[in-house]
Amino acid sequence: MTLAEHARVHGDLPHRTALELIESIERSGLRGRGGADFPTARKLRAVASRKRVSAVVVNGSETEPASAKDRLLLSRLPHLVLDGAVLAAEAVGAPEVIVKVGATAGGSLQALEGAVSVRADDPVPIQLVAAPEGYVAGEESAVVHYLNGGPELPTFVPPRPFERGYRGRPTLIQNPETLAQVALVARFGEHWYRELGTTADPGSALVTISGAVAAPGVYELAFGTPMTDLVDAAGGATEPLRALLVGGYFGTWVEASEAMRLRLAREDLRSVGCSLGSGVLIALGESACGLHESARVIDYLAQQSAGQCGPCTYGLPAIADAVGALADGAARDGDRDRVLRWGSEIRGRGACHHPDGAVRFVASAMTVFAEEIERHRSERCTALPAGLPVGGTTIRRAVATGRRR
Amino acid sequence: MSAQLRVNPIACEAHGLCAELLPELIRLDDWGYPIIDESEVPPDLLGLAWRAVDACPTLALLLEEDGKGTR
């Protein structure tokens, strides 16, 4: 959308004080759309209350292989995202906006460059940064680490970016979709935002759905929408479904019939142990093998470890090997138990939450695909590959120098 | 006054001295990395906890008293 189209479709940006904007965002109930689901007003206040804020960073990393919503927003509606970023900068007192995307995000980068070049009225400068990619490179501290001149790897927190981030100063980091919503709420108000969704979960979210559906893609859905409606919106299932992966590789598997009884609502999802995360959903058909696909994914997640912390660096590959053995029918006694034990031991012992997400994903696979595990002990798997994406960009890895026992 | 044990997992290189000095609170996983079983340090183990913090070759073991960081 060009600047002219953007102005026509979305209208002019109204003038609001920082306090008015933050209060409006608070009343809207907007929460972060990067995966952590953190109340946006609270984050804005936390940074606004600090002195010498250094920047607002638009985190366009989008490292979940099956996610496409952020690149869609950045490439098609860059002005909406930039409006939100500039509004946020004014609200927290940041002197600049930095938009960070992955180095291969050509479409986004081009659209952003074009957008920035025609914007004349922004109160703060906007800088574009293309960084090396990798699953953990989108984590907030990894983004800050890179912007500060280091590798795109997570750091030990606290302090968190809102306290000490870019240039060692308080930094606001937000997902592009969150900032697009900020720009819309600034124009149309918190009541407009609350027209969709439910009281507990107001508003809408961008969801990327792929797998065994006829029309995979990015869809905007009101919170509270039944999962069946979402699958219908995506053209319907192309075959009977076995399971749904909710929340991408940082999420969890849910058995199909259970998944179809859910709505896109926090309480519903929490009741079956999952969360929407960054809105990635993958439908797995019965012709595929959830165990094999899960083995491929945990293999990828293990390979994507930053390599900085022992439990993750050594634990995830060990888990991946065992899950692979279970999938190949070559499991040794106790492999499944070891997978679960290592999972519970590794949790919380990395500098970031990469290992936590990985072990949670594996634990859900062990539960949901228990039948498959049993069957693979005696039968060869004849399922078709479902091709869950495991984009193979290798990031620069630190090597954890530990001793094996 | 409460004291909390924490490991900086990036600095940790699995030397294992912490688990040797404070087995009541710390054990090692299958790869030699520390698992803090109980982060709250009882008063009678505080002295040993400080010894373990001092002994860590990479200063990865942290003891935080009343929310204040140390090392």
At A186, give phi and psi (nearest 5°).
-60, -35
CATH code that applies to domain A204-285 = 3.10.20.600
Pairing mode of beta strands A280-285, A241-246? antiparallel
Interface contact A349-B7, CB threshold 8 A = yes
**What token pair was written down for A285?**
């058909």
C-alpha distance from A342 to closest chain B C-alpha (Å): 9
| Distance of alpha carbon A104 from alpha carbon A109, whole angstroms | 9
A155 interaction partners in chain B (CB closer than 8 Å): 10
A311 interaction partners in chain B (CB closer than 8 Å): 9, 29, 31, 33
Which residues lie closer than 8 Å to B30 by C-beta, 6 or more apart? A314, A318, A342, A405
- Say if residues A79 and A6 touch (Cβ distance below 8 Å): yes
Q: Give the H/E segment covering residue B33.
A: none
Interface contact A156-B8, CB threshold 8 A = yes
Mutate to test the interface with A, among B33, B36, B62, B70 (most CBs of A within 10 A): B33
Residues spanned by CATH 3.10.20.600 within chain A?
204-285
Residues spanned by CATH 1.20.1440.230 within chain A?
290-376
**What token pair was written down for A74?**
């950045």
Under an 8 Å CB criterion, which residues of B touch A? 7-16, 28-33, 35
- Say if residues A196 and A203 touch (Cβ distance below 8 Å): yes
Reading chain B (71 residues) residue by residue, the pLDDT tens digits are 689 999 999 999 999 999 999 999 999 999 999 999 888 999 999 999 999 999 999 999 999 987 665 55
Per-residue confidence (pLDDT) for residue B69, from 0 to 100: 55
Residues spanned by CATH 3.40.50.11540 within chain A?
3-194
Which ranges constitute the DSSP H helices of chain B? 17-21, 46-55
A387: left (phi over 0), alpha (psi -120 to 50) or beta: left
What ipTM does this complex have? 0.94
Which residue matches tokens 């050509």? A106
Statement: A3-194 belongs to CATH 3.40.50.11540? yes
Per-residue confidence (pLDDT) for residue A16, from 0 to 100: 79
Nearest neighbour of B33 by CB, restricted to A311, A318, A351: A311
| Distance of alpha carbon B16 from alpha carbon B11, whole angstroms | 13
**What token pair was written down for A399?**
């090597």
Interface contact B32-A310, CB threshold 8 A = yes
A309 interaction partners in chain B (CB closer than 8 Å): 9-10, 12, 33
Question: What domains are defined for chain B?
Answer: 3-65 (3.30.70.20)
Which residue matches tokens 């404070």? B22
CATH code that applies to domain A290-376 = 1.20.1440.230
Per-residue confidence (pLDDT) for residue A401, from 0 to 100: 36
Reading chain A (405 residues) residue by residue, the pLDDT tens digits are 889 889 888 887 777 789 999 999 999 999 999 999 999 999 999 999 999 999 999 999 999 999 999 999 999 999 999 999 999 999 999 999 999 999 998 899 999 999 999 999 999 999 999 999 999 999 999 999 999 999 999 999 999 999 999 999 999 999 999 999 999 999 999 999 999 999 999 999 999 999 999 999 999 999 999 999 999 999 999 999 999 999 999 999 999 999 999 999 999 999 999 999 999 999 999 999 999 999 999 999 999 999 999 999 999 999 999 999 999 988 888 999 999 999 999 999 999 999 999 999 999 999 999 999 999 999 889 898 888 999 754 433 333 333 332
C-alpha distance from B7 to closest chain A C-alpha (Å): 8
**What token pair was written down for A203?**
């508003």
Cis peptide preceding A158, ω within 30 of 0: yes
Strands (E), A88-147: 97-102, 126-131
Per-residue confidence (pLDDT) for residue A156, from 0 to 100: 96
